[in-house]
Amino acid sequence: MAPGTTPPTTEARDVFRELGYSVSEDGSDFVAERKWRRVLVTPLGPDDATDPEPYLADGGSPPQLRCFVTWDDSAADLRKHLLDLKPPFDWAVIGVEGGGEFSVMQGAPGSP
């Protein structure tokens, strides 16, 4: 799917499968697991990437690892917003392009 206002849900699953994770198939948010790592993955469209705060809570205790996936042209802004919000968990941002390419941006050093 081409970048637009839709979150890159399919692309996010494809990235984690490519990295060797098993991926749950339910909903737009999903869990990716590999060895001891269990990552809550949240795909965000460009509009959501400018205001990620509503997506930080998962309704329970915060997971240890989170990854926010958005289109490549929104990834740097999303990372900046998350750095400002200082969420209480380790996180990363993945920017995806329509052709399957992706880049990983680490969260804050020493987070949470």
Beta bridge partners of 43: 69
Whether pLDDT at 71 is above 70: yes
Give the model's pLDDT for residue 51. Answer: 79
Alpha-carbon separation of residue 16 from 53, 83, 109 (angstroms): 23, 23, 22
Q: Read off the tokens for 55.
A: 């997506």
The pLDDT of 25-45, averaged and rounded, is 90
Alpha helices in 24-109 (DSSP H): 46-49, 72-85
Give the model's pLDDT for residue 36. Answer: 86
Contacts 24+ apart (CB under 8 A), 108-112: 108/83, 111/86, 111/87, 112/86, 112/87, 112/88
Least confident of 16-30, 48-62, 98-112: 48-62
Least confident of 32-46, 58-72, 85-99: 58-72
pTM: 0.87
